[in-house]
């Protein structure tokens, strides 16, 4: 995938669309995570009706003011066909309101299976087509090529897990290869190759948590977006963003879910929480 070429279909690249959205709405990604505990906190029943009301209320409240919404596919899949129907509505509603949709699916496989995942989420005709998806590289970065290819063809993006915020990832992601390079850094380096020469930003992002140690991964050559989980309910603050990433990294996209969603079901309270998060991020990012 050559980011410099843009989408072969002639549509604007994901990197360009993300840059425009962030400039207009601020660098915040909000997760749409219909977790049972949040449904209960909203006073909603733990059934399809409650689940649907939660997901659509959050989407409708936030989609016209945040740059990116990130539905967590697992929560929708848990409800079977009804949940997938709601996910389709969330994607459609968000995009109609001007938000980019990053579908958090964390798919990663080989050969025709990876190609099928790419068709499911990155093809123009797919019911679940999003603006970008998350993928896992732990069957080999090269195995993700079908997703990179499909994304390039349709003007979409791919975010590759690199250094995640969960403690369970440390053993694998901090392991070093024969060149004494960590697995996480090698993933960032491979993504950087695909983004070389892209303007204003490449389409292949990485996921690096806000709770990791400073300088664990070098991002100066990535030339792509960085999805930053861990902000908000997981404990990371705006100052942690500065501590971990410094001031020179382009394309940072902090993501918050529970810390904003807990303010529902009142739409104004949800929007106010998102605005506070954007303000705190803006105070430390260039």
Query: Which tokens go with 152?
Result: 């390039």
- Catalytic residue from among 70, 106, 193, 278: 106
| Spatial CB neighbours of 196, under 8 Å, sequence gap ≥ 6 | 2, 3, 4, 202, 223
- The reply to whether 278 belongs to the active site is no
| b/e 228-248 (16+ beta carbons within 10 angstroms → b) | bbbbbebebebebbeebbeee
Tallying the residues shown for the chain, one arrives at: 286
Our measurement of the distance from residue 69's CA atom to the centroid of its chain's CA atoms, rounded to an integer in Å, reads 8
Start-to-end C-alpha separation, the chain: 29
Look at residue 218 and give its three-state secondary structure. Answer: coil
Q: At CA 92, angle to CA 91 and CA 98, rounded to 5?
A: 90
What are the φ/ψ torsions at residue 162 (nearest 5 degrees)? -125, -70
Q: Which residues are catalytic?
A: 106
């Amino acid at each position: 995938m050559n980011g410099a070429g843009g989408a072969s279909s002639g549509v604007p690249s994901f990197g360009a669309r993300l840059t425009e959205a962030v400039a207009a709405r601020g660098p915040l990604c909000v997760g749409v995570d219909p977790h049972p505990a949040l449904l209960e906190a909203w006073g909603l029943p733990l059934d399809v009706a409650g689940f649907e009301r939660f997901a659509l209320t959050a989407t409708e409240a936030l989609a016209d003011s945040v740059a990116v919404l990130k539905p967590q596919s697992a929560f929708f899949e848990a409800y079977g066909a009804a949940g997938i129907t709601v996910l389709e509505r969330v994607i459609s509603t968000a995009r109609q309101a001007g938000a980019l949709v990053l579908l958090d699916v964390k798919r990663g496989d080989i050969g025709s299976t990876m190609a099928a995942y790419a068709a499911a989420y990155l093809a123009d005709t797919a019911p679940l087509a999003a603006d970008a998806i998350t993928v896992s590289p732990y069957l080999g970065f090269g195995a993700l090529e079908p997703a990179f290819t499909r994304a390039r063809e349709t003007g979409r993006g791919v975010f590759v897990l690199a250094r995640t915020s969960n403690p369970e990832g440390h053993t694998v992601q901090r392991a070093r290869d024969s060149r004494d390079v960590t697995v996480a850094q090698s993933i960032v380096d491979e993504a950087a190759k695909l983004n070389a020469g892209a303007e204003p930003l490449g389409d292949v992002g990485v996921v690096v948590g806000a709770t990791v140690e400073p300088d664990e991964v070098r991002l100066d050559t990535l030339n792509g977006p960085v999805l930053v989980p861990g902000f908000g309910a997981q404990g990371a603050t705006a100052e942690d963003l500065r501590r971990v990433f410094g001031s020179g990294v382009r394309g940072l996209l902090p993501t918050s879910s529970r810390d904003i969603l807990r303010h529902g079901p009142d739409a104004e309270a949800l929007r106010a929480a998102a605005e506070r998060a954007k303000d705190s991020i803006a105070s430390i990012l260039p």
